[in-house]
Amino acid sequence: METEQTESDAKRPALADKSQATAEAELLGRQPLRHILPFVTWEGVFATIFITLTGSPFLTGFALFLGANNFEIGLLGAIPFISQVSQILAAYRIDLTGRCKTLTTGSLLLGRQIWWLLVPLPFIEGDWRLGYMLGIFIISNVGVTMGAAGWFTWVADLVPRRLRGRYFGSRSAAIAFSTIATFIIAGAALDFFQKSGRADYGYAILLAAGSVSGLVAAFIMNRLPEKNIPAGAVVIDKDYFLAPVRSAEFRRLLIFFFIWNIGTGIAGAFFAAHMLTNLKMTFTQISLYSTASLIAALFANKPWGVLIDKYGSKPTLVACSLGLSVVPLIWLVPRHDYLWILGLEAIYAGILWAGFNLAAFNLPLSISPEKNRTIYLAVFAVASGTGFFAASLLGGGLAEIWKGIGIAIGPQVVVNYHILFAISAVIRGVAALIAASIKEQRATELFGFVQFLTNRVVRRYR
């Protein structure tokens, strides 16, 4: 009996590999995987250019240009995350109709091309401008979020599980290159226009360039194959919507990301605002700071990907979230005449965010079942997004209430943002401890993971 069980177990990997290979062949048709993955990478590059040009710090600068206060800055940071609720609708439509590609590309086109309506805004006067911008921003984020629901499932079908860590590590490196170039060029251009007294032209050009990049990303995405799912293949009932929260393994993941995003959301919108208003940094300086972080992430992405493929995503998530809990405390130190520490923080945070983001991308894919993956990922996005939304609104309200604070401690003056940074660090630390309870098949315990890293470092420098 023991011998039969061993032989049966030995056959399972081969059968699983054969089944997986058959599924991949059905999905890709005659197109080899090596021809498909570059399109996924290039789509990510152009999508990231759009995200960079229409995101912080440029979006924060644009909102301040239009006269936004602290609460409105917090609202701006919250909108992308409350929009995650629309992923439930998107997942329902995709599983009901089986039309993942059509719904995904259509939603992303809406979300990225509606920004053309903001291009003339810098040249127009009126108190209504900020409200108009927020309205367009909401519509854009609903479209992008609905597209993201299908994108995750679509790409999960395209990239085999055995390659995800290494492939997405390489993809993240390519995205980092494009983000670095975008930050440097856009920051220098915006500073040039501001010094020339024509910040309106600078913001209009950035918005237009972002929209063009979003269009290119959609064109590339449309060339990707999709898995043929017949309409009605997934049973849509009460259990369909409740399955993610009934799964003990997935529920632990939801709790961690809900609390983690409260920790990041309460201060997330104000790092850029702090750099612009209190530290008096130019967009070029902010771009250089972002570039340092991205370069660090660039070198860290591939090693993190290899570690995730070897040891699972959970150890990386726990280690990186613990390290990232310290980051907001570092922001208590810099002043407008004492900025060098941000260079060290950028490198430290860049390395850890690279590992965290890869693990955060892979864990929901590995824990969710293939059949109902779309609704699992949608519920995941809603849970994490709700935490960030609520915390960002709270942070905006607190920042506005505490805007008069200015407590001198030695050479430093503690302001409202510093208090939010400290709160963020505490909540992140609590979330990092919760991450240890997440269950992932094939994951190595954190002690073994750290021991492996230590041994590698010792051998390298012995």
Q: Are 154 and 24 in contact (CB under 8 A)?
A: no
> What is the Cα–Cα distance from 167 to 37, expressed in whole angstroms?
8
**Structural domain includes residue 292:** yes
Q: What is the pLDDT of residue 104?
A: 87
Region for 281 from its dihedrals, namely left if φ exceeds 0, alpha if ψ lies in -120 to 50, beta otherwise: beta
> What is the Cα–Cα distance from 419 to 421, expressed in whole angstroms?
5
Q: Rounded mean pLDDT of 110-114?
A: 94
Q: How far apart are the first and last CA of the chain?
A: 49
**Structural domain includes residue 425:** yes
To 5 degrees, how large is the angle CA 56–CA 58–CA 64? 100
Residues 6+ away with beta carbon under 8 Å from 269: 56, 60, 73, 74, 76, 77, 78, 392, 395, 396
**Structural domain includes residue 14:** no
Looking up tokens 């909540």 gives 427
Residue type, 230: P
Looking up tokens 């993190």 gives 304
Q: What is the pLDDT of residues 172-226, one digit of tens each?
A: 788 888 988 998 899 999 999 999 899 999 999 999 999 999 999 999 988 887 7
Q: What is the pLDDT of residue 94?
A: 75
pLDDT tops 50 at residue 25: no
Q: Rounded mean pLDDT of 222-232?
A: 69
Q: What is the pLDDT of residue 6?
A: 35
Looking up tokens 């043929």 gives 228
Domain count along the chain: 1
> What is the Cα–Cα distance from 443 to 456, expressed in whole angstroms?
19
Distances (CA, A) of 275 to 117, 281, 286: 28, 6, 7
**Structural domain includes residue 5:** no
Q: What is the pLDDT of residues 282-305, one digit of tens each?
A: 988 998 998 899 899 888 988 888
* Number of other CB atoms surrounding residue 171 within 10 Å: 24
Q: What is the pLDDT of residues 407-447, one digit of tens each?
A: 999 889 999 999 999 999 999 999 999 998 888 766 555 54
**Structural domain includes residue 18:** no
Instruction: Fill in the DSSP letter of residue 159.
Output: S
**Structural domain includes residue 188:** yes
Instruction: Provide DSSP, 89-122.
Output: HHHHHHHHH--HHHHHHHHHHHHHHGGGGGTTGG
> Structure pTM?
0.73
The domain that holds 83 is classified in CATH as 1.20.1250.20
> What is the Cα–Cα distance from 299 to 284, expressed in whole angstroms?
23
- 456: containing domain: 34-225+237-461
**Structural domain includes residue 411:** yes
Tokens of 149: 């629901």
**Structural domain includes residue 2:** no
Instruction: Fill in the DSSP letter of residue 230.
Output: -
> Is residue 412 classed as helix, strand or coil in its secondary structure?
strand
> What is the Cα–Cα distance from 409 to 419, expressed in whole angstroms?
14
Distances (CA, A) of 330 to 337, 340, 346, 421, 452: 16, 12, 10, 9, 28
Q: What is the pLDDT of residues 253-287, one digit of tens each?
A: 999 999 999 999 999 889 988 999 999 999 889 98
Q: Are 309 and 165 in contact (CB under 8 A)?
A: yes
